[in-house]
Amino acid sequence: MRRLLIITAFGAIATLAGGLWVTRPLTVDADTVSAIEGNAAAGEMVFALGSCASCHTSPDGDKAVLAGGREFTTDFGTFVAPNISPDMLNGIGNWSQVDFFNALRQGTSPDGKHYFPAFPYASYARMTDTDVANLWAYMATLPSSDQPSQSHRLTFPFNMRAGVGVWKALYFRTAFVQPAGDTERGRYLAEAIGHCAECHTPRTALGGLQNNRWMAGAPDPSGKGKTPGLSPAQLKWSADDIAYYLETGLTPDFDSAGGGMAAVIEGTSKLPPEDRAAIAAYIKALPATE
């Protein structure tokens, strides 16, 4: 009996150690990413499509000042967007380019902790090294804000960052979801920088995307309304209609974009026409998921 207890104890310890190892915060190769030189002018387009300002500016605040403070109410509690301006104390001005890569690529903070996946790093992780470096270079040119970041208000056990490691093990995948086909550029813009699926794809009870229902529409995280589906089963627009909507916010039915989508249009309207056309082609090629 004593031997059985000892074996069981060692087995439990080994299982726990293995679980902690599998779910540990990961980091990028520092030597590789620190050597990449970003281009701020090119990063402006990445910033626009990524809609960074739509989450990280204060409500009714200057859209160039990423002071944070915007609240997002979900089933897990309330997330509060942090200050990601270049401020040295309250923003990310003391980060290195490696820290920035770790955040976008691995969802890992400079102090080695998991970021909650309300920050859509699961999509940003598909971005190229060049685009991440360009975005970092551009964000360094924006105004600073000394507004302190506020804490999230999450319910137990979702407030435990260690549990995010389990979430990552279950759902964090860097491979693209849809086949490239003739829409490789559009797939990159939509699935990586634009992170469209973060709103337009339904989630599991633990908040992971249901890839088998990709872009099929989802309840709004606030519990009010629904984010529409973009697959051919829900969206009957032509590719030209979609591209025009991404440029102007106007629908074929003479309606206009509202809510969070209005902020998205602010970004996509700044893209070159060929990129809007590429996103439209990608959307038209989606499977007809109900």
**For position 2, what pLDDT does the model report?**
54
Helices 162-171, 2-22: inter-axial angle, 10-degree rounding: 80
Q: What is the pLDDT of residue 62?
A: 76
Range of the domain at 103: 24-171
Report residues of the chain scoring pLDDT below 50.
5, 9-21
pTM of the model: 0.89
In terms of Cα–Cα distance, which of 184, 279, 182 is closest to 237?
Answer: 279
Judge if 56 and 163 occupy the same domain.
Answer: yes
Residue 25: per-residue pLDDT: 81
Structure confidence at residue 1 (pLDDT) = 59
Tell me which of 141, 171, 201 is where a domain ends.
171
Q: Are 183 and 197 spatial neighbours (Cβ–Cβ below 8 Å)?
A: no
pLDDT by residue (tens digit) across 90-104?
999 999 999 999 999
Can you give the pLDDT at residue 264?
A: 92
Compute CA 194 distance to the chain's CA centroid, rounded to the nearest angstrom.
8
Sign of the dihedral defined by the CA atoms of residues 57, 71, 210, 213, in that order: negative
Final residue before a domain boundary, out of 171, 195, 218: 171
- Tell whether 258 is covered by a domain: yes
Q: What is the pLDDT of residue 13?
A: 40
Q: What is the pLDDT of residues 66-121, one digit of tens each?
A: 999 888 888 889 999 999 999 999 999 999 999 999 999 999 999 999 999 999 99
Instruction: Assess if residue 178 is contained within a domain.
Output: no
SS3 228: coil
63 and 157 fall within a common domain? yes
- Tokens found for residue 281: 């082609």
What is the domain count for the chain?
Answer: 2
Burial (Cβ within 10 Å: 0-12, 13-18, ≥19) of residue 35: exposed
Q: Looking at residue 272, what DSSP letter applies?
A: -
The secondary structure of residue 256, as a DSSP letter, is B
